[in-house]
Structure 1
């Protein structure tokens, strides 16, 4: 199948993994990023599209032209800020080609709700709550599609785990953007005397000493991310507060890599896990502290649980499986 994919080409992004997985499944993919059209830094282009409507339409019209020229059998879009006129133009020239939107994030990142103003044939989102209001309130053709892992990237290191733990030398690790909600929770761990190493992007607008003191000043990805998550005794994964009935992508990546994580309790996690979710989830920061203190000395149990989850997630929660589920629905 010839598939046009509109979205970021950044390594380890959702679109990167969609492209990689569709190619792995044998499809021909034309992947186009907004940076292929305009050669200026992403952040400048992003704000230009916000303040200059004609510029916004012009950029996405050029993207539509590239997709139309490719004559795909299917179009997949992931940007939440794609201008509706882009989708309308593609539909006008390719009326028999289904156009789908895959939303990889929670509901606070819907930009100006462009996806709801666009005539997609199918909408895929990871949150049951979002599927409900999209389908039952707006009559959109919405379907549930959880996040996933890429088995060619999110995989454990082929090294004895204890040796990696000795090298990494980390009790608890957290990674990602340290926005205030996440930072507040991590501060609770630090206040309880737990040693936490932090990777990712600091929030320089609202600095906190207990965060900066534990920040490793490194953005981890690829094999380095695998090394850190596989070698840390516990991965602390606190979901964004807008994950209503969903899990973040890190939940799947951590288990794919073979890390042992504790995370927020969500009823939805029962759909994914091979382990009783009560064994690794918390409802309060106090419960998170208790879980960490309980599991830190239990090396064999942590390794056993992580291995069981890793094998289960590689079998059931890969991007290939998600893409095939999506194609079957279409």
Structure 2
């Protein structure tokens, strides 16, 4: 198929832009990349001066690409800054429109406002389908993120340097949880944390990579950690919705300790492919247990790795997406 893939290229913490593009190419599709992000200074200046002017420029550029390339499918990740009018223009050209939204349930209200624009709309949170259906949106389907095997992989001979590794953005909940865990373990944090936590915080000494990290750097960290910890930003607020870290960590062969989400049992055998926790106390208990039982942790990590590489790659996700859209 001929596909235009529209991505927010300025968001460095959204590496699935690259993963999806490369996977589509490997699958044999013809793909044109359209970046609606703000990597270029003139675009940033225009958007700051006038949001309408920025959108008009964006839509003019996209229309030119649509008219010249004539794709079968317009596929966007998130769809930020794509207004209803441009999606209607796409549909008027008999081009199938697809959006893959990966910020539920945290940004469900934002998502509800745009989901109806598209022919097909995919969410990372199965539990959010109720909200979409309640709003009369029948075009929304569940599809979580995945792993990208050329990046998410095991490093043979990698030495375990850290007892617990965490890679992700700062937020108050994560800070509180990691502050409770840090006195008990050798904790390594990757992400923009240094300016967020107090100078006398125990976490200052745990920050190994402050700021943005590449997918390759994250993969190395996962390979060097006995336990890779996942704390969804909506831990304690929503019991559904999977972030990409689930599949990235498991795809690297890491022992993954993740806060429980309803969808996990649909994709994995809990406590056989990964370990889960429902409270901070359980998190601390399981961390200490598996650090004391490395053979059990390694067996679980291996099962999770094999299942993820076998069943949860971006190639399989995109194959499922197109099949559900009738494009197989």
**Which residue of structure 1 lines up, in the alignment, with residue 142 of structure 2?**
144
Deviation, 1:91, is 2.2
Deviation, 1:278, is 10
Deviation, 1:301, is 1.5
Residues 134 and 82 from structure 1, CA distance in 2 versus in 1: closer, same or farther, beyond 3 angstroms?
Answer: same
The answer to whether structure 1 residue 282 and structure 2 residue 277 are counterparts is yes
Q: Distance in 2 between matches of 1:238 and 1:205?
A: 17
The answer to whether structure 1 residue 196 and structure 2 residue 187 are counterparts is yes
TM alignment of 1:79-228, pairs within 5 A: 79-92=79-92, 94=93, 96-109=94-107, 112-113=110-111, 116=114, 119-157=117-155, 159-160=156-157, 163-165=158-160, 169-191=161-183, 193-202=184-193, 204-205=195-196, 207=198, 209-218=201-210, 219-228=212-221
Q: Distance in 2 between matches of 1:61 and 1:89?
A: 11
Q: Distance in 1 between matches of 2:142 and 2:37?
A: 29
Deviation, 1:87, is 1.2
**1:246-302 deviations in whole A, cap 9, x for unaligned?**
211001000000011111011210011144379711111111000011000222211
Deviation, 1:139, is 2.5
Residues 114 and 32 from structure 1, CA distance in 2 versus in 1: closer, same or farther, beyond 3 angstroms?
Answer: farther
Give the paired residue count: 318
Is there any run of 5+ residues in structure 2 with no aligned partner, and where? none
**Which residue of structure 2 lines up, in the alignment, with residue 291 of structure 1?**
286
Kept after mapping to 2: 8 A contact 1:175/1:199: yes
Q: Which moves more between the two structures, 260-269 or 11-20?
A: 11-20
- When the two structures are superposed, what TM-score results if normalisation uses the length of structure 2? 0.87
- When the two structures are superposed, what TM-score results if normalisation uses the length of structure 1? 0.87
Q: Distance in 1 between matches of 2:252 and 2:14?
A: 14
Look up the SS of the partner of 1:76 in the other structure: strand
Deviation, 1:15, is 1.7
Q: CA RMSD in A?
A: 2.6
From 239, 263, 267, the counterpart of 1:268: 263
Q: Distance in 2 between matches of 1:88 and 1:45?
A: 27
**1:87-108 deviations in whole A, cap 9, x for unaligned?**
122223x1x2110110022233
Residues 271 and 224 from structure 1, CA distance in 2 versus in 1: closer, same or farther, beyond 3 angstroms?
Answer: same
Is there any run of 5+ residues in structure 1 with no aligned partner, and where? none
**1:129-178 deviations in whole A, cap 9, x for unaligned?**
22222134223411111111111111111x23xx521xxx2111111111
Q: Distance in 2 between matches of 1:269 and 1:300?
A: 23
Q: Distance in 2 between matches of 1:102 and 1:211?
A: 35
